[in-house]
Amino acid sequence: MDTDDVERWFGEYLAAYAACGRGETGTEALLAYYGDPLLITTDGGYFPLAGGPRIVAGVAPQIEAMRQAGYHHTEVLDFTITPINAKSALYRGTFSWQRADGTEFNRPTATYLITDGPAGHRISVLAVHAD
């Protein structure tokens, strides 16, 4: 995969994610960026989510928590893109979730497996790093 293309596409995903976090769009808007199935892994467990309704239900609690915290935007603090083959790449990033006044309320690091299939780029695995 072309790293410039992945970086551009991931920027579009972050913009869509931010709009959801601010409550401007519904969580279902993220289905344009997530693979089906979507595999999520966190300290809390491993969650294979298949089908749009399950994917939305799986990410909705995080979006709701962002809204309750007053989320406004994400700043990308650091990222690397590692191509795996012609159809997949890893995106590892550290993000600063901020309120409108610029205060940070979360600093997650995550690795995403981005795949390229018939529907275009999709996040197939979302792995949230331990704190």
Q: Where are the domains of the chain?
A: 3-128
Local confidence band at 51 (pLDDT 50, 70, 90 cut-offs): very high
pLDDT digits (tens, 9 = 90+) for 59-102: 999 999 999 999 999 999 999 999 999 999 999 999 999 999 99
* pTM score of the predicted model: 0.94
Burial of residue 47 (CB within 10 Å: 0-12, 13-18, 19+) is: middle
From residue 130, how far is each of 19, 74, 77, 94, 111 by CA, in Å?
Answer: 25, 19, 17, 12, 11
Local confidence band at 131 (pLDDT 50, 70, 90 cut-offs): confident
Centroid of chain to Cα 24: 17
Report the pLDDT averaged over residues 108-113. Answer: 98
- Across the chain, mean pLDDT equals 96
Report the pLDDT averaged over residues 31-40. Answer: 97
Give the CA dihedral 79, 19, 46, 34, nearest 10 degrees.
Answer: -80
Q: What is the pLDDT of residue 67?
A: 96
Please tell me whether residue 16 adopts helix, strand or coil conformation: helix
On whether the CB atoms of residues 106 and 97 are closer than 8 A, the answer is yes
CATH of domain 3-128: 3.10.450.50
